[in-house]
Amino acid sequence: MRKDLYRHVLTLPLGFFRKTQPGMVVQSFVSELATAGDFVGMAVAIPITSILSLVAFTVYLLWLNPILAVVSLAIYPVTVLVLPKLQRRVNMENKKRVDVSRDFSGKLAEAISGIHEIQANAAHHLENSKFEFLVNKLQKIRITWNLYRQGIKVSSNFFTNFSPFIIFLLGGYLTIKGRLELGALVAFLSAQEKLFDPWSELIDVYQAYQEASVSYQRTMQYFDVAPEFSIEPEDRRPYQLDGNIEVKNLSFITEDGVQLLDDVNFSLPAGSQLALIGFSGSGKSTLANCIGQLYKYAKGHIHVGNQEVDDLTKRDIAWNVGIVSQTPFIFDGTIEDNLLYGCTSRMGEKEIDRSLPLPDLDQMIETIEQIGLLPDVLRFGLNSVLGSQTERSVVRICGIF
What whole-number distance in Å separates Cα of residue 130 and Cα of residue 125?
A: 9
* Strand-pair partners of 261: 252
| Res 399 pLDDT > 60 | no
Banded model confidence at residue 355, pLDDT cuts 50, 70, 90: low
* CA dist., res. 213 & res. 206, Å (int): 10
pLDDT of residue 392: 64
Average pLDDT over residues 375-392: 76
Q: What pLDDT sits at residue 336? A: 84
Fill in the DSSP letter of residue 202. Answer: H
The answer on pLDDT for 229 being more than 80 is: yes
Q: What is the mean pLDDT of residues 42-48?
A: 80
**Res. 20: pLDDT tops 60:** yes
Read off the amino acid at residue 345: S
pLDDT band at 350 (very low <50, low <70, confident <90, very high): low
CA–CA dist 267, 303 (Å, integer): 9
Helices 45-64 and 196-222: crossing angle in degrees, nearest 10, is: 150
Identify the band that residue 353 occupies on the pLDDT scale cut at 50, 70 and 90.
Answer: low
Q: Check if the beta carbon of residue 107 is closer than 8 Å to that of residue 227.
A: no
Amino acid at 97: R
In this model, does residue 105 exceed pLDDT 80?
yes
Beta strands 299-304; 245-253: pairing state: antiparallel
Identify the band that residue 387 occupies on the pLDDT scale cut at 50, 70 and 90. low
Residues 108, 36, 213: CA angle, nearest 5 degrees: 100
Q: 244 vs 163, 266, 287, 299, 352, CA distance in Å?
A: 82, 11, 16, 20, 27
The dihedral region occupied by 234, where left means phi > 0, alpha psi between -120 and 50, and beta the remainder, is beta
What is the rounded CA–CA span in Å between residue 2 and residue 32? 10
The region, left, alpha or beta by phi > 0 then psi within -120 to 50, assigned to residue 138 is: alpha
Instruction: Tell me the mean pLDDT in the region 222-235.
Output: 86
Q: How far apart are CA 46 and CA 345, in angstroms?
A: 44
pLDDT value of position 246: 92
**CATH 3.40.50.300 domain span(s) along the chain:** 249-320
Distances (CA, A) of 375 to 181, 305, 367, 368: 97, 37, 12, 9
DSSP-derived secondary structure for 90-101: HHHHHHHHHHHH
Mean pLDDT, to the nearest integer, of 11-24?
84
Q: Could you tell me what percent of the chain has a pLDDT over 70?
A: 94
pLDDT at 401: 47
Residues 6+ apart with CB under 8 A from 155: 79, 82, 83, 86
Q: What is the pLDDT of residues 127-151, one digit of tens each?
A: 888 889 989 999 999 999 889 888 8
Q: Is the dihedral angle over the CA atoms 346, 351, 352, 358 positive or is it negative? A: positive
pLDDT the model gives residue 249: 92
CB atoms within 10 A of CB 109: 17
Binning pLDDT at 50, 70 and 90, where does residue 85 land?
Answer: confident
Cα angle 112, 117, 118; round to 5: 65
Q: Which residues of the chain does CATH 1.20.1560.10 include?
A: 2-222
Residues 167-215 have pLDDT tens digits of 777 777 777 777 767 777 777 777 777 777 788 888 888 888 888 888 8
Q: Does 382 have pLDDT greater than 50?
A: yes
Average model confidence (pLDDT) across the chain: 82
Residue 97 has pLDDT above 60, yes or no: yes
- Give the model's pLDDT for residue 225: 87
| Maximum C-alpha span of the chain | 108
Alpha carbon of residue 197 to chain centroid = 35
CA distances to 238, 274, 306 from 270, in Å: 19, 11, 12
Q: Over 60: is that where the pLDDT of 52 sits?
A: yes
Contact 263, 251 (CB under 8 A): yes
Q: What is the pLDDT of residue 303?
A: 92
Query: How large is the average pLDDT for residues 242-255?
Result: 89
Q: Which CATH class is domain 249-320?
A: alpha beta
Position 395 scores a pLDDT of 59
- What does the alpha-carbon distance between residue 287 and residue 251 come to, in Å, rounded to a whole number? 9
- Cβ–Cβ < 8 Å for 167, 68: yes
Core vs surface per residue 182-215: b (16+ CB within 10 A) or e: eeebeebeebbeebeebbebbbbbbbbbbbbebb
Report the pLDDT value the prediction gives residue 230, as an integer from 0 to 100: 87
Position 349 scores a pLDDT of 60
Question: Which of 30-34, 240-244, 296-300, 301-305 is the least confident region?
Answer: 30-34
Q: How confident is the model at residue 301 (pLDDT cuts 50, 70, 90)?
A: very high
| DSSP letters for 308-345 | EGGGS-HHHHHHH-----SSPPPPSS-HHHHHTHHHHH
> Which region among 66-75, 273-282, 293-302, 334-343 has the lowest average model confidence (pLDDT)?
66-75
Please say whether the structural domain 2-222 has been given the CATH code 3.20.20.150.
no
Mean pLDDT, range 313-324, rounded to an integer: 86
